[in-house]
Structure 1
Amino acid sequence: MKEKSGAPRDYEELIRVIHDRYDEMSKSYQKIAVYLTQNPNDVAVRSVNSIGETSGVHASSFVRFAQALGYEGFKDLQTLFQKRLSTAAPGFEARIKALESELGGRRDCSEAGFLHDLVVRDIASLKEMLTDIPAEKLAEAVKLLEKADVIYLLGQLRSAPVVELLRYILTMLGKRCVLLDPGGGLATHMARAIRKSDVLFAVSFRFYANEVVNIVEDAAGRGIPIVAISDSTLSPLAKSASVLFAVPEHEYTFSRSLAAPMCLAQALTVALAARLQNNAVSPRIPTVTAE
């Protein structure tokens, strides 16, 4: 990414510029871009050294990133995040600290200690999603799902449980759906049957499954409506999605939880049930019962 004059003057313009230039950035700059867009509140209040340590990118790279956008240094870029913070909801790290204070800090590495740590992070992630997911996006996604002749479901690796849950609930609602199962290498071939009257519901998080990304890009090129759940507005699914739900993941470890995307997926299906049953008060999702 080459240095350019005329640095963005406010946070919204900065985010637009980052999105526009993202594909041209180096791998390290892309990593910085993802961190900035996923953690705006933390960027506002933490030092560049602390941000570098958390993100795994050297602080000097953040300085060069800012300069490439036209700023004299990182502090000039950081000012935009600080101005935004006055009207923003608490960030993920702030929620973690508040919950740790409320529930008591983790004191050991016992089994109960691991449970405590995961629960605290899940609660913080759910609260963040509650404030960051726009109501109009939820309504737009549910409208697409309601109108679809068939809902095709796509998710692999650790995203697979989310689409399996969706398949179960949609089937019980009587909504036609097809799981693009990667078994046998047929997912790509099955996806070719998707029509413009259908919807592709894709779920993918870093590190993104190549087949999922390729199917989404091909479907978008054929004008297929796409609802996507991913971890960032800079994910490979973002440009192709008709409706994108960005559920940030603030660490890339084995213990990453699916609590937030699972909750979001279930909320979408409950809202769909309300529309299908014309019952916004108490929509009912049938369950499988023994004969």
Structure 2
Amino acid sequence: MEQTVEAPKDYEDLIRVIHDRYGEMSKSYQKIALYLTQNPNDVAVRSVNAIGETSGVHASSFVRFAQALGYDGFKELQSLFQKRLSTAAPGFEARVKALETELGARTDRSELGFMHDLVVRDIASLKEMLTAIQPKDLAEAVSLLEKADVIYLIGQLRSAPVVELLRYILTMLGKRCVLLDPGGGLATHMARAMRKEDVLFAVSFRFYANEVVNVVEEAAGRGVPIVAISDSTLSPLAKSARVLFAVPEHEYTFSRSLAAPMCLAQALTVALAARLQNNTINPRIPTVTER
């Protein structure tokens, strides 16, 4: 990553530069970029040593990263995050601490204690999503799904449950959908049937499934609109998506929680049902009843 002639002057410009240069960065710099974009409030208030310890990257690398962008040091870069913080919503860790105060901090290592930790973090993620997701992105995604002739779905590994839920709801709503199932190695071949009148809905989180990334890039190259749920605006899905919903994973736990991605997927289908049924009061999935 070459040193810039002039460092970005504000937070928005900094994020744009990071996005533009992300593909050229070393792996350690990419890890720093992910942390900066996913945890802007923490970056504003924590020391570089604390940030380095949390992110797993040495503090000196953050300093060099800042200098490579044209700043004298990390504090100069950090000042952009501090200016942003004055108008920003509370960050993830602040939400966790508030919830621990409200619900009580975990005091044991019992089975209930594990559940307590997961519930607190999931509530914090859901609250953060309310402020992070843009209304125009929701509206555009629902419009794409509504107009699509066929909705293709792809998500593998820990993303698979999200697209399975989407397949169920979309089918019950009467929308034609195809799950690009990796079974039999046919997903890539099935994806070639997609047309510009269709939509590809892709879900992928770190570490991104290669087949999902390849299908998304190939579909985008043929002009197929893409709606994506991923963990970062620096995700390999970002450059191809017409609409990208970034649902950050702030810290690895036992396994990635799907509470926020599942809620987002369901919110999109509820909004779609409201349009299809011309019912903004109580749209519903038709139920299957016994004869």
Gaps of 5+ in 2: none
Task: State the shift of 1:255 in Å.
Answer: 2.9
Given residue 109 of structure 2, which amino acid in structure 1 is its aligned partner? C
- The aligned length equals 291
Residue 279 of structure 1 corresponds to which residue in structure 2?
Answer: 279
Residue 222 of structure 1 corresponds to which residue in structure 2?
Answer: 222
Task: State the shift of 1:281 in Å.
Answer: 1.3
Deviations 1:243-279 (A, max 9, x none): 0000000113333200000000000000000000111
Task: State the shift of 1:49 in Å.
Answer: 0.6
Given residue 12 of structure 2, which amino acid in structure 1 is its aligned partner? E
Given residue 59 of structure 2, which amino acid in structure 1 is its aligned partner? A
- Using the alignment, how far apart are the partners of 1:250 and 1:39 within structure 2? 8
Residue 33 of structure 1 corresponds to which residue in structure 2?
Answer: 33
- Using the alignment, how far apart are the partners of 2:254 and 2:161 within structure 1? 15
Deviations 1:24-43 (A, max 9, x none): 00000000001000000000
What RMSD, in angstroms, separates the aligned Cα atoms of the two structures?
0.7
- TM-score, normalized by length of structure 2? 0.99
Mapping of residues 205-244 of structure 1, within 5 Å: 205-244=205-244
Residue 179 of structure 2 corresponds to which residue in structure 1?
Answer: 179
Task: State the shift of 1:282 in Å.
Answer: 1.2
- Using the alignment, how far apart are the partners of 2:95 and 2:270 within structure 1? 27
- Using the alignment, how far apart are the partners of 1:7 and 1:245 within structure 2? 28
Given residue 153 of structure 2, which amino acid in structure 1 is its aligned partner? L
Given residue 166 of structure 2, which amino acid in structure 1 is its aligned partner? L
Q: What's the secondary structure of 1:116's corresponding residue?
A: helix
Find out whether 1:120 has 2:138 as its counterpart: no
Question: Identity percentage over the alignment?
Answer: 87
Mapping of residues 157-176 of structure 1, within 5 Å: 157-176=157-176
Given residue 22 of structure 2, which amino acid in structure 1 is its aligned partner? Y
Residue 18 of structure 2 corresponds to which residue in structure 1?
Answer: 18
Given residue 91 of structure 2, which amino acid in structure 1 is its aligned partner? G
Gaps of 5+ in 1: none
- TM-score, normalized by length of structure 1? 0.99
- Using the alignment, how far apart are the partners of 1:246 and 1:188 within structure 2? 24
Given residue 142 of structure 1, which amino acid in structure 2 is its aligned partner? V
